[in-house]
C-alpha cells in the first residue's frame, strides 16, 4: 500500500499508479472528479475529500495533460478554509467546475 492523496502518485512523487496509463490506453482525455470528506469518531478523514485527495488528483491530472472537471455538488472538503484554498489552486491551473446536472446534460441524460 502506498500513502497517497492523489490517484496518480504517492505523496512524495516517487511512485506512480497505473491510472495515467489506463486512461491513455482507453483514449480518455477528460476526467470528472468527485469525493467526500467523511469523518469517523476519532475525527480522522477516511475517504477522499475536495481539499486533499480531490485537489491533488485533479492537479496531477492537469499536469499529465488531462482536462479535469470537479463535479462540485458531488464533492465536499474536510474544512471550509482549506476547501476554498484548494478551489483557488485548481481554478488557477485550468480546472473546471460543473454540477452533476451539467454533467448529465453534457452526456445527453
Summarize pLDDT for 66-77 with one digit per residue, the tens: 999 999 998 888
- Relative to beta strand 96-98, strand 30-36 is unpaired
Q: What is the pLDDT of residue 10?
A: 83
Whole-number Å distance between alpha carbons of 38 and 36 = 6
Residue 2 scores a pLDDT above 80 = no
Q: What is the CATH number of the domain that holds 55?
A: 3.40.50.850
CA-wise closest residue to 45 among 75, 77, 90, 13: 77
Q: Is the full-model pTM beyond 0.85?
A: no
94 lies in which domain range? 30-106
Residue 36 scores a pLDDT above 70 = no
| Residue recorded with cell 484548494 | 86
Which tops the pLDDT comparison, 92 or 43?
92
Please state which of the ranges 13-22, 59-68, 74-83 shows the lowest mean pLDDT: 74-83
Report if residue 69 sits inside a domain. yes
Report if residue 88 sits inside a domain. yes
Helix and strand counts by DSSP (H, E) for the chain:
4, 3
Average pLDDT over residues 47-63: 82
Q: What is the pLDDT of residue 52?
A: 79
Report if residue 13 sits inside a domain. no
* Helix, strand, coil percentages in the chain from 3-state DSSP, rounded to 5: 40, 20, 40
Amino acid at each position: 500500500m502506498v500513502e497517497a492523496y492523489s490517484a496518480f502518485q504517492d505523496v512524495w512523487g516517487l511512485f506512480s499508479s497505473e491510472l495515467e496509463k489506463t486512461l491513455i490506453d482507453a483514449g480518455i482525455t477528460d476526467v470528472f472528479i468527485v469525493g467526500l470528506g467523511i469523518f469517523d469518531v476519532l475525527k480522522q478523514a477516511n475517504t477522499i475529500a475536495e481539499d486533499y485527495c480531490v485537489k491533488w488528483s485533479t492537479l496531477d491530472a492537469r499536469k499529465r495533460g488531462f482536462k479535469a472537471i470537479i463535479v462540485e455538488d458531488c464533492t465536499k472538503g474536510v474544512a471550509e478554509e482549506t476547501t476554498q484554498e484548494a478551489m483557488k489552486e485548481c481554478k488557477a491551473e485550468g480546472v473546471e467546475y460543473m454540477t452533476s446536472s451539467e454533467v448529465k446534460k453534457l452526456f445527453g441524460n
